[in-house]
């Protein structure tokens, strides 16, 4: 099965089936996610999404909301399918993580525009900056959001280079938050290569 294919109703478990396999499925997804999280310093992280992570999101939403009608299921698929990579990109949830509410509030005012300064870089190529929040604006003149959705679009040459063993770097180049993780661990690099056609 192609990792880039969008989810359909046929891919989902019924509420009854899901209740029977939920623990096992959840463990599988959590193990998978360990290879798809990139800590960017102490207060930010990228969570790379794919078909499996989105199936888990949809199944959990259907379970929590007790949705079993076709229209409701289709609404969830429409909401989450755009977060599945298309073969030439990575899609990620970016989170600014400050445990203290007051500190988080203060920092979000200092990090306006951070979502446009997050990048991935294939060894030997220029940085690829995130295309952030295509679904809706999550920042204003006073503060940024703690959560952003991102797409990193790669050229065919970058994909080929990665598949041939090029190192991968991630970072943030914001005036108030600068970090670079280079190279990313091999387990993460391999997992992300799996998203590319």
DSSP three-state, residue 44: strand
Which residues neighbour 167 within 8 Å (Cβ) at sequence distance 6 or greater? 122, 123, 182, 183, 184, 189
Q: What is the pLDDT of residue 138?
A: 65
DSSP three-state, residue 62: helix
DSSP three-state, residue 182: coil
Indicate whether this model's pTM tops 0.85: yes
Q: Phi then psi for 86, rounded to 5 degrees? A: -100, 5
Which residues neighbour 160 within 8 Å (Cβ) at sequence distance 6 or greater? none
| pLDDT tens-place string over residues 8-62 | 999 999 999 999 999 999 999 999 999 999 999 999 999 999 999 999 999 999 9
Ranges of the chain with pLDDT below 70: 1-3, 135-139
Which residues neighbour 12 within 8 Å (Cβ) at sequence distance 6 or greater? 18, 55, 58, 59, 62, 73
Q: What is the pLDDT of residue 34?
A: 95
Q: What is the pLDDT of residue 136?
A: 65
């Amino acid at each position: 099965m192609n990792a880039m294919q969008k989810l359909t109703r046929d891919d989902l478990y019924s509420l009854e089936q899901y209740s029977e396999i939920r623990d096992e499925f959840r463990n599988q997804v959590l193990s998978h996610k360990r290879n798809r999280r990139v800590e960017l310093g102490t207060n930010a992280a990228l969570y790379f999404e794919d078909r499996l992570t989105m199936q888990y999101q949809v199944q959990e939403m259907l379970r929590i909301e007790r949705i079993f009608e076709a229209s409701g299921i289709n609404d969830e698929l429409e909401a989450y399918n755009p977060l599945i990579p298309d073969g030439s990109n990575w899609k990620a949830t970016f989170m600014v993580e400050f445990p203290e509410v007051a500190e988080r509030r203060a920092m979000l005012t200092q990090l306006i525009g951070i979502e446009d300064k997050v990048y991935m870089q294939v060894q030997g190529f220029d940085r690829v900056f995130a295309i952030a929040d295509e679904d809706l604006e999550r920042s204003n003149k006073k503060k940024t959001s703690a959560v952003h959705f991102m797409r990193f679009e790669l050229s065919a040459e970058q994909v080929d280079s990665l598949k041939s063993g090029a190192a991968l770097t991630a970072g943030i180049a914001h005036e108030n938050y600068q970090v670079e993780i280079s190279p990313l661990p091999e387990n993460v690099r391999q997992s992300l290569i799996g998203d590319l056609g």
